[in-house]
Amino acid sequence: MGISEIYRDDIIIFYADDDQDDRDTFTDALNEVYDASKLFTHEDGDDLLNALNNPPPRATIVFVDLNMPGKTGFEVIKEIKNSHNLQDLPIVVVSTSSDEKTIKATKELGANFYIPKPTNYNDLKKSINYALNIDWGTFKPQLYDFVYRYN
């Protein structure tokens, strides 16, 4: 059972990306596929970590870009996974970096899923919907199913 089935009315999504256009596009896409959610956007890793460490609200899932000023997505993943209070929080990377080395590094740090940042709006909607329907309690990805494929 995915997050959308378990927490339909209570899902709280945190999304960090330094690009305002990307935050706006993510917001629009999310609203089209999942209108019951509550989204809180953050312009960098420091802002995201501050919000995570000072609830309410308490995030249900985090989507994070990797290439941000200040704390990068890599640092954010590491801090979340090293935090006793946050370590079980699902982290979905959404990044333009899609080389194997980067993907492997995020998985090793503890990210739960990786979405290469789509250039197509419909692919973004599909990838968000897919991530929200993963059963994070049982999903233990291997490298082959760690990355969202647009097929």
Instruction: Compute mean pLDDT per 10 residues along the chain, 151 residues long, and list them.
Output: 50 96 96 86 96 94 96 97 96 95 96 94 95 93 88 67
Nearest-angstrom CA–CA distance, 96 and 116: 6
Structure confidence at residue 4 (pLDDT): 42
Torsional sign, CA 124, 127, 130, 131? negative
Outline where DSSP puts E strands in 18-107: 38-42, 61-64, 91-95
Distance (Å, whole) CA 136 – CA 151:
22
| pLDDT for 144 | 84
> Quick check: 49 and 14 in contact, CB under 8 A?
no
Residue 151 pLDDT: 67
